[in-house]
Amino acid sequence: MKILVTNDDGVTAQGILCLARYLSREHTVTVVAPETEQSAVGHAITIRFPLWLRKLDINEPFEIYAVSGTPADCVKMGMDVVLGSPPDLVVSGVNRGKNLGTDVIYSGTVSGALEGAIAGIPSIAISSSDFKNPMYETAAKFLLKFLKEFDVKTIPRFTALNINVPSVSYEELKGWRLTRQSKRMYEDYFEKRVDPVGRDYYWMMGNVIENDPDPLADYKALKEGYVSVTPISVFMTNEKYLKYLEEVYHESKTSR
């Protein structure tokens, strides 16, 4: 397959280079990624500033391009400017740290995959679960094998796979499970600090809340040693609540 690879940790991050090296063993890989770290930028795109694209002279079995923008910018430019035609697959990662539950709203890694999904390209976001000790090789090995057994052509437009891999050796993986995006979230708070000249500033902190009763919650698979594979969509309509509103306000709408 012709695979476009991006990330949000930066074009020379260990995770993306490890992933591209493994994928290039069996596929044609092109890396188009942010020139600087773009973690937690969500699905931002650059519309008020110019974008710079440069090819890196790095001794790798694939081409690497750096973009002065976000992961979503990289996917757009990768398809339109670098490749000139749609790839067979967009892969974003390997991210340093998990992307579970509400993380997907903020994640540049996930947004890179969703940008491919918007364009109608089968797309995957992949993350290694432990930020302090990411096992990129485990995630890369897993994805290379996964692509042999999973038909990415079945992924519908506007949908991407969000894959999270436990930070263990490849041999320790128990397999993979289909999961749901969980209600895992953060209880945020701001820590007040003082800079060297005496001015106050604030650093956002947070405690993880994992109390989702769903047995298919994404984080539960990781805790049991399985890779979590969650199909996610760009659409955010709450269908259940919409149906409720239609029932409640149906009379008022029709009586106007």
Report the amino acid identity of residue 199.
R
Report the amino acid identity of residue 43.
H
Report the amino acid identity of residue 135.
M
Six token digits for residue 19: 């992933």
Q: Residue 130, annotated ligand binder?
A: no
Beta bridge partners of 205: 189
The CA distance from 79 to 90, in Å, is: 10
Q: Residue 128, annotated ligand binder?
A: no
Residue 156: DSSP 8-state: P
Q: How many CA atoms lie within 13 A of 143 on its CB side?
A: 37
Q: Residue 59, annotated ligand binder?
A: no
Task: Measure Cα distances from 96 to 50, 73, 81, 191, 248 in Å.
Answer: 28, 20, 27, 24, 45
Structural contact between residues 164 and 98, judged by C-beta atoms closer than 8 angstroms? yes
Q: Residue 39, annotated ligand binder?
A: yes
Report the amino acid identity of residue 4.
L
- Classify each residue of 166-198 as buried b or exposed e, where b means 16 or more C-beta atoms within 10 Å of its C-beta: bbbeeeebeebbebbbbebbeeeeeeeeeeeee
Instruction: Give the CA angle between residues 79, 85, 86 to the nearest 5°.
Output: 70
Report phi then psi at 235, rounded to 5.
-90, 140
Q: Which residue has the tokens 């992961």?
A: 71
Q: Residue positions in the annotated binding site for a divalent metal cation?
A: 8-9, 39, 95
Q: Residue positions in the annotated binding site?
A: 8-9, 39, 95
